[in-house]
Structure 1
Amino acid sequence: MWKREARSRRHHRASSDVDEHQGQIGRLSHSRGQRKKDDAMAKISIPHDAFVFVGDGRKALFLRNDGDEKFPHLKTERVIVGENPPTRAQGADEPGRTFSSSSPGRSSYEQTDWHELEEKNFARDVAGALVKIVRERKVKALIVVAPPKTLAELRNAFHADVKGRIVAEIDKDFTKLPVYEIEKHLTH
């Protein structure tokens, strides 16, 4: 009987050592992950007359650096606000139904997400406006700031002229921030 107790004590001690070790690994990897996240939002150099595009699926800000690289001063050049009510306000009817020839049951089509479609259209329209600005103003450097989903839509919609001018992309949503806060986030 004493052998069983000794064995269970050893097993308990060994498993607690493993748990403690795994806890340390978890803390270390968390701190490393935090460091990577902090490095990703490092200071960005914004050249004089560079444009900063800040947008999401509903609002787009076109900002220009009126200062220099060392002391940037972003000024609003243009603002586009799209009207995008929720899907329930845009949809007109229930999704359609279909009959299957192989079974007696019916099934329905998936509900169209009108809100998401409008965000995609807005990204395409904004990309068109950005091409016009890049060509007319002869923009040499462009920084694009948008949430990840919108950034993907913009990448698909950007013309080659715009893609060639992009010096940085940031997957954050700064559209609700005032311009001085955007400037602070980009440069610090």
Structure 2
Amino acid sequence: MTFLTQGTWVLVADSEKALFLENTTDAQNPNLKVRRKDEQENPSDREQSANRPGRFNDGPSVHRSAVDDTDWHQLAKERFASDLADRLYKMAHKGEFERLVLVAAPEVLGELRKNLHKEVADCVVGEVAKNLTNHETSKIEDMVKQALENA
């Protein structure tokens, strides 16, 4: 099956960055052009936390246990996938793409799948569970083409 036909969009994402690419040529020699770049500023959890972890009494004894603090860094990563799904929904409604390939780290791909609206899910023609956000576009073209051919 041919996945990367002309006009197919490719979303390359991790938990903090997303590249929206469009194939301007055919499937044999894909030429992905950047249409949009999104990046989330997500400092480490230590920088986002305001307090030390809390503690509570275990009952009548003098023993006290620590309570885990909220991991704000992890929450922001999970929220990014949800925000991406919403962005894709808006783009689909504007008619910006009809075919979409999702390329993301496995955990991000899972979060994306959970959050995709039906209109976007119906446009998905392929998935690649790899983190390619830090690669050059030419490398992404080759790796996505190869992964989809072997799927």
Task: Provide TM-score, normalisation by structure 1.
Answer: 0.72
Assess if the C-alpha contact under 8 Å between 1:44 and 1:186 holds in 2: no
Equivalent of 2:13 in 33, 44, 55: 55
Q: Which has the higher strand share?
A: 2
> Larger Rg: 1 or 2?
1
Q: Which has the higher helix share?
A: 1
Equivalent of 2:101 in 93, 118, 143: 143
Number of aligned positions between the proteins: 146
Assess if the C-alpha contact under 8 Å between 2:3 and 2:125 holds in 1: no
Partner Cα distance (1:156, 1:103) in 2: 44
Which structure 2 residue ranges, 5 or more long, are not aligned? 147-151
Answering whether residue 72 of structure 2 is matched by residue 114 of structure 1, we say: yes
Equivalent of 1:154 in 97, 106, 112: 112
Partner Cα distance (1:94, 1:81) in 2: 29
1:21 matched residue in structure 2: none
Which structure 1 residue ranges, 5 or more long, are not aligned? 1-42
Assess if the C-alpha contact under 8 Å between 1:55 and 1:61 holds in 2: yes
Using the aligned pairs only, state the percent identity.
36
Q: Does the residue aligned with 1:137 lie in a helix, a strand or coil?
A: coil
Answering whether residue 39 of structure 2 is matched by residue 86 of structure 1, we say: no
RMSD, aligned α-carbons: 1.7
Q: Cα–Cα, structure 1 residues 44 and 187, in superposed 2: closer, same or farther, change >3 Å?
A: farther
2:32 matched residue in structure 1: 74
Equivalent of 1:181 in 123, 133, 139: 139
Task: Provide TM-score, normalisation by structure 2.
Answer: 0.88
